[in-house]
Structure 1
Amino acid sequence: MPKIVDHEQRKIKIAEATWNVIVQDGLEKASVRNIAKEANMSAGSLRHYFSTQSELFAFCMQLVSDRVKNRAAQKSYDGSSLEAMETLLSEFLPIDEDRRTEMEVWLIFSSKTLVDPTLEELSQLIYDEMRQAVSTVVEGLIDIGLARGDLDKQLEIERLYALIDGMAIHGILHPDRFSVKKTQTTLQYHLKALCK
């Protein structure tokens, strides 16, 4: 009886191996040979699933995005409205090992979007999806009557998005100076500052 291979699971295994190589050794070490070794498969098998590095990196970026979206969709948003909003926005911050790895990989791949049109297009799409999540929070504060009366919705969406991105970068590049606790406290402070 022939062995049944789950091709999607195999692609995810390769993507996770790519993440591991990049996080441990840097993007420049993400060669077919090193990724195949990390995935415990041959280079030929890896090329069967991803014919180009760009294709592999696009799959890796999409996997990060999908995991964040899936986690956010499966959360139970208990507590106050502000707590629920904080829970949603925390999906984009490196506050535990999984999210830290995802954000680190995302940051590294983001630098590739400057020179790879395929990745740049995907990055724009995911940027818009994340902006929509941030918009949902700001619009939610307005809709339930918690937002300050003088709040400029569009500016606050941009400011909150920039804050989330900045905290993710600081949390990854300077975790000793911008701790998980500081990340959470800053997010809470900012959300409260948007309220009456």
Structure 2
Amino acid sequence: MPRIVDHEERRRELAAHAWALIRDDGLRGVTIRALAERSGWSSGAVRHYLPTREAIMTFAAQQIVAWTRDYIQSLPFTGDPVDDFRMALLGTLPLTDDTRAVLEIWLAFAGEAVRGDAAAQQALLYDHLDEFLLSALGQLADAGYLQPDDAEPAARELHALLDGIAVHVLLGKVEPVAAEAAVDRWLERTLSRQG
């Protein structure tokens, strides 16, 4: 009986090896040959799943979004809207070994995205995080934690804060405990029960 191969799982396995290459050698270190060596696969097997360097980079970038979404959804939410929002925000920062690894890869892609690299731009999570922040703050406004007109500007400010904190933690300029405290201060300053 022929063996059933999960092609998406094989592609995710290759993406994990591509992430390791990015962490070790930067984006320029990712080639089909390097990915074959890292994964132990033949170059032909790599090409079967991800036929070009661009395909490798695009899929690796897409996996950042998927991993982050899955990670945040796996957090032990309590049902308290502010506490759960806080937990999700902290899940976007490099405060654990796993989130640090993903955000190191994100930062490598960020440099290329500035130059207009399409695959790199997919990795930035900008649209996904932006949508999440707008939606969550809109819900918090509906629940009376801030004025409805304040939700959009608050989302922009918070997004910039998270991006900045992430970079500073990755660069070793801000300790994780200080990053967490900055998020807490923002939440305390911005969210309070209205009326």
TM-score by length of 1: 0.87
The corresponding residue for 1:183 is: 179
Distance, in Å, in 1 between the alignment partners of 2:175 and 2:32 is 34
Q: Deviation digits for residues 16-73 of structure 1, max 9, x if unmatched?
A: 0011111122222222222211111111211111122111111111111111112222
Question: For the structure 1 residues 186 and 79, does the alpha-carbon distance in structure 2 shift closer, same or farther, using more than 3 Å as the test?
Answer: farther
Q: Deviation digits for residues 107-136 of structure 1, max 9, x if unmatched?
A: 21233333333554x358x42221011113
Contact 1:23–1:105 (8 Å) recurs in 2: yes
- Which of residues 163, 166, 173 in structure 2 aligns to 1:165? 163
1:193 aligns with 2:189: yes
Distance, in Å, in 2 between the alignment partners of 1:53 and 1:22 is 13
Question: For the structure 1 residues 193 and 50, does the alpha-carbon distance in structure 2 shift closer, same or farther, using more than 3 Å as the test?
Answer: same
Paired-residue identity, %:
26
Distance, in Å, in 2 between the alignment partners of 1:57 and 1:118 is 6
Greater Cα shift, 83-92 or 131-140: 131-140
Question: For the structure 1 residues 79 and 180, does the alpha-carbon distance in structure 2 shift closer, same or farther, using more than 3 Å as the test?
Answer: farther
Contact 2:64–2:102 (8 Å) recurs in 1: yes
Distance, in Å, in 2 between the alignment partners of 1:143 and 1:37 is 53
Contact 2:54–2:119 (8 Å) recurs in 1: yes
Which amino acid is the alignment partner of residue 146 of structure 1? Y
1:89 aligns with 2:89: yes
Structure-to-structure mapping, 1:1-196, within 5 angstroms: 1-78=1-78, 80-113=80-113, 114-120=115-121, 122=122, 126-147=125-146, 152-174=150-172, 177-196=173-192
Distance, in Å, in 2 between the alignment partners of 1:171 and 1:56 is 27
Question: For the structure 1 residues 22 and 146, does the alpha-carbon distance in structure 2 shift closer, same or farther, using more than 3 Å as the test?
Answer: same
Contact 1:54–1:116 (8 Å) recurs in 2: no
Greater Cα shift, 69-78 or 101-110: 69-78
Q: Secondary structure at the match of 2:127?
A: helix
Name structure 1 gaps, 5 residues minimum.
none
Q: Deviation digits for residues 131-190 of structure 1, max 9, x if unmatched?
A: 01111332233222222x59733221110010111111111122xx31111111111111
Distance, in Å, in 1 between the alignment partners of 2:164 and 2:145 is 25
Question: For the structure 1 residues 129 and 150, does the alpha-carbon distance in structure 2 shift closer, same or farther, using more than 3 Å as the test?
Answer: closer
Contact 2:142–2:148 (8 Å) recurs in 1: no
Greater Cα shift, 25-34 or 109-118: 109-118
Q: Secondary structure at the match of 2:51?
A: coil
Name structure 2 gaps, 5 residues minimum.
none
Q: Secondary structure at the match of 2:140?
A: helix
Cα RMSD of the aligned pairs, angstroms, is 2.2
**Aligned pair count?**
191
Shift in Å at residue 2 of structure 1?
A: 3.5
